[in-house]
Amino acid sequence: MTTKPLHIIGGGLAGSEAAWQAAQAGVPVILHEMRPVRGTDAHKTESLAELVCSNSFRSDDAQANAVGLLHAEMRLADSLIMRSADAHQVPAGGALAVDRDGFSAAVTATLEAHPLITIQREEVTGLPPEEWDQAIISTGPLTAPSLAEAIAQRTGADALAFFDAIAPIVYFESIDMNTCWFQSRYDKVGPGGTGKDYINCPMDKAQYEAFVQALIDGDKTEFKQWEGTPYFDGCLPIEIMAERGVETLRHGPMKPMGLTNPHNPTVKAYAVVQLRQDNALGTLYNMVGFQTKLKYAEQVRIFRMIPGLENADFARLGGLHRNTYINSPTLLDPTLQLKGRPGLRFAGQITGCEGYVESSAVGLLAGRFAAAEILGREVSTPPATTAFGALLNHITGGHIVSDDEPGKRSFQPMNVNFGLFPPVEAPKPEGKRLRGKDKIVAKRHAITARALADCRAWLGIPAEAQAAE
């Protein structure tokens, strides 16, 4: 019997991962990607899984960080995104960061070479036709207007939009290392790192306050057609944070804690700007947390106020891109399937998850669910105790709608975090009562240990294979 193909619309992180998972299960896949036939405001290439914002997959700590746990679960599930990220990592302290071009090229080459995957470069302007028995929409934050409108008409719900912001990238050779220094916060060593993976630019109080005022006063790009669009707190433009109070930035992306300036070790910086390596060659560094909607000329002027960046040469300046996502808790069932349209699933940021890893993970789940259905197997959802399950539950039903404002849509994009997991009792050491930070760390370790054990069981990894890891 010939197996009907799974159609996937969108070749970003989620679509690429979904295609890989389904094809590895033995299901033929047709991956529809509109680039380069139709470009977007943020993409620069036609590669699949192109990273348009940061090059960081965030923390790789699987014991004490929820996104690090998600990394580990995806590796257990043979994730193409994680395999490619691991192969193209660049130093980033405790984070997993990648050479963005090498990463997307690897994903593209792997999918192009897979015998069960066909990549069609075309724009799909409407919902998948009924004859596509199984389909996944994974068009992400840059969904084309025609498809977004078709989704809105079919679901009866408006697709909400907010801005994701892009941080500037600086050429390393233009950074004054007589002022700046290499150091990871608290000298933390991560995958591929040395504990000296960030460039740090120190500011005293006067410099910091002048910088904050410049951010507030600087000319910004206006998008009148999107007035009233909310920002996601995890990716706020730097000037929006500055407007929230003069101390906001030094308790956020510019916090000075865990850093000592070797050029002047007896003086504590009042604030610190960090830059993270952006490519394998180490020639490019991105400004951490400096997403912005400042006009280009203002970015150059204001960011050169930062000590060490007075002569900064920018390989790319910051910008903004639109994000479209659906009201998943009301529209999707627990297998990411659109209620009332069997066989049509959504994956990635369009479902209301936030972040590269989360988008990829939801693509992984959607690909597995669709493949199981096509092959006539039971569609098994991951336990709620896993990172997969915690994220899935938030998207498809974990959100609580406020009764204070009936009809107001309150579902917002979410990164994976420990607040999404079922509670667990931390083990109590003999004769010792855990308090404060120790108790938090013990609880996180208990959550992650339980999650990995339950994820292995869900994936059917034999006990002997677990013991050998």
- Answer positive or negative: Cα dihedral of 66, 70, 73, 75: negative
d(CA 220, CA 216): 9
H or E, element range at 150: helix 145-155
pLDDT, tens digit, for every residue of 208-252?
Answer: 999 999 999 999 887 544 334 556 666 688 999 999 999 999 999
| Nearest CA among 147, 180, 144 for reference residue 43 | 144
> Of 123-127, 320-324, 425-429, where does mean pLDDT reach its minimum?
320-324
Beta strand 56-59 with 95-98: parallel, antiparallel or unpaired? antiparallel
Q: Which residues contact 433 (CB under 8 A, 6 or more apart)?
A: none
d(CA 30, CA 442): 45
pLDDT > 70: percent of the chain: 87
Q: Are 252 and 289 in contact (CB under 8 A)?
A: yes
Q: Are 466 and 459 in contact (CB under 8 A)?
A: no
The confidence score (pLDDT) of residue 110 equals: 98
CA 133 vs CA 140, 219, 362, 370: distances in Å: 22, 50, 20, 10
Tokens 């691991």 correspond to what residue?
86
Average pLDDT over residues 127-133: 93
Q: Hey, how many other C-beta atoms are within 10 angstroms of the C-beta on 226?
A: 12
Phi/psi for 121 (5° steps) reads: -85, 95
For residue 422, name the pLDDT band (cuts at 50, 70, 90).
confident
The two structure tokens encoding residue 444: 């996180």
d(CA 425, CA 351): 31
Please report, as a single letter, which amino acid is at residue 392.
L
The confidence score (pLDDT) of residue 225 equals: 45
Q: Are 303 and 310 in contact (CB under 8 A)?
A: no
The two structure tokens encoding residue 200: 């740090």
pLDDT, tens digit, for every residue of 62-82?
Answer: 999 999 999 999 999 999 999
Beta strand 134-137 with 6-9: parallel, antiparallel or unpaired? parallel
Please report, as a single letter, which amino acid is at residue 305.
M
pLDDT, tens digit, for every residue of 423-432?
Answer: 888 777 776 7
pLDDT, tens digit, for every residue of 355-367?
Answer: 899 999 999 999 9
The DSSP-derived string for 313-350 is: -EEE--EEEEEEE--HHHHB-TTSBBTTSTTEEE-GGG
d(CA 295, CA 342): 46
d(CA 105, CA 47): 6
d(CA 181, CA 175): 10
| Arithmetic mean of pLDDT over the chain | 87
Residue 53 has pLDDT above 80, yes or no: no
Q: Between the CA atoms of 294, 299, 301 and 302, what dihedral angle is there, to the nearest 10 degrees?
A: 80
The DSSP-derived string for 233-269 is: GGG--HHHHHHT-TTTGGGTTT--TT---TTSTTS--
d(CA 223, CA 221): 7
d(CA 99, CA 78): 20
The DSSP-derived string for 113-130 is: H-TTEEEEE----SSPPT
The confidence score (pLDDT) of residue 228 equals: 47
pLDDT > 90: percent of the chain: 59
d(CA 69, CA 72): 5
Q: Are 248 and 261 in contact (CB under 8 A)?
A: no
Residue 404 has pLDDT above 90, yes or no: no
How distant is the alpha carbon of residue 191 from its chain centre? Answer: 18
Residue 15 has pLDDT above 90, yes or no: yes
Please report, as a single letter, which amino acid is at residue 196.
K
- Per this entry, what is the length of the chain? 469
d(CA 26, CA 3): 9
pLDDT, tens digit, for every residue of 149-187?
Answer: 888 888 875 544 555 557 898 989 899 999 999 999 888
